[in-house]
Amino acid sequence: MLHVAIIGSGPAGYYTAEALQKQFGDEVRIDVIDRLPTPFGLIRAGVAPDHQSIKAVSRRYETTALTDNVRFIGNIDIGSSVTVAELLDLYHAVVVATGAPGDRKLGIPGEELPGVIGSATLVGWYNGHPAFAHLDPPLLTDSVAVIGAGNVALDVTRVLAKTRDEFEGSDIARHALAALSLSGVKHIHIVSRRGPHQIQMTPKELGELGELQRAVPHVRSEDLPPEEADAGLEPGVRKSVTHLRQFARTNGRDAEIDIRFDFYMRPVRIEGEGRVERLIVERTRLDENGNAVGTGEEIVIPCGMVVSCIGYRTHPIPGIPYDDRLGRFTNEEGRIAPGLYCVGWARRGPTGTIGTNRPDGFAIAELIAADAPSGTREGRPGLDRLIATRGLKVVTFQDWKKIDAAEIARARDGSPREKFTSIDEMLSAINP
């Protein structure tokens, strides 16, 4: 019998569990371990609350989680409650699937000022993640700068611009909905160091920005390349740029909130007396290789909040080699050390979509098979013994189903659930 521990219960974790089942059949036992009492990682806490169709992929993971040879063990922190070395002694293979839940730093002066918020933090706040539920973003400001040229920047912008009614059907956290309902934001700047042809925004998400009730996106026509240049773009990028061209044609429309795409602008510093008051950017141009280079011209964007959406980093775990430059675990195509592997964003960094993790998981399952782990390991009984000895309170998948049912039962009208935003609340829901 092969015993495998997977650290992290998000898409990468459950796709790997599914792949291991297909690879080894009934000859594998898999423990999926998470530091939170709730499974599904990015699906629960990272996907925008108004994108319920994307969150529905968790049903696939639930199918895997409910099989006899897969077990969910929540509320266990690997590194403090149980060490990686202990897992390696108990299991033939340990797979790290913790994703990249930390924010990448801007690396500019002033980013430590109050009012500068990383996207992982802000997204966690409006998604009800326990680590960020007490965030108090300065929403009474009239201007916000969102730095980034990807879908996360669009998600943040859309959430900041929506009316309360537009959140119907979403699972946005109650505290965030209340704060956003009182928001004073009137101007949102999406700051990108390169141009429209270099964005990583998908057509669907850009299209949503043009359908908001009280907000209108604006693009400066002079920032758009000649229309004939679009012919050489990938089809998805070309569709996205078509949306930007449409936004440029509606620049004259007035709205309660204006969303401005500030292309060819590189953040250089953030200024303010004790809090964010302005973002200083340098106008850029593209060199022959498509890289943004500064022109020396600086522009001031007045704002009371800066949201950085420039990428994520994996959190280090004691006992696992870490590449601080790349913000992920040190590995060779998923191998970290004998018996120790990583998958998903923890392996390759924050690239690709949720579905990208599926082939990644199957690749790791094939690596484990190729490495042909041998010998006897205790697996589950050994971990259960450690848990009992240390008096740890674990959450099973059936426990999670009780939390799930309680969240659904307490949902406000028009919402699929009202999430618990503290671990104590979650644990109390198991045994009310």
Rounded CA separation 224/234 (Å): 17
SS3 110: coil
- 294 annotated to bind ligand: no
Q: Does residue 193 have a known ligand-binding role?
A: yes
Q: What is the sign of the dihedral through the CA atoms of 320, 322, 327 and 331?
A: negative
33 known member of a binding site: no
125 belongs to an annotated ligand binding site: no
What is the C-alpha to C-alpha distance for residues 333 and 322, in angstroms, rounded to an integer?
Answer: 14
Strands of 76-235 (E only): list them.
93-96, 102-103, 116-118, 143-147, 187-191, 215-219
Q: Residue 354 annotated as binding? A: yes
Residue 194 assigned as binding residue: yes
Q: Computed from CA positions of residues 260, 180, 406, 430, in that sequence, does the dihedral angle turn out positive or negative?
A: positive
| Nearest in space to 43 (alpha carbons), one of 76, 74, 5, 13 | 13
Task: Give the Å distances, CA to CA, from 296 to 266, 268, 274, 281, 299.
Answer: 11, 11, 27, 10, 10
Tokens representing 243?
């949306």
Q: Is 36 left (phi over 0), alpha (psi -120 to 50) or beta?
A: beta
Q: What's 265-318 look like in SS3? A: EEEEEEECCCCCCEEEEEEEEECCCCCEEEEEEEEEEECCEEEECCCEECCCCC
Residue 78 assigned ligand-binding role? yes
Direct distance between the N- and C-terminal alpha carbons of the chain, in angstroms, rounded to an integer: 38
Closest to 400 measured CA to CA, from 377, 367, 370, 423:
423
Annotated binding site for FAD: 12, 42, 78, 345, 352-354
Annotated binding site for NADP(+): 193-194, 205, 352
Annotated binding site: 12, 42, 78, 193-194, 205, 345, 352-354
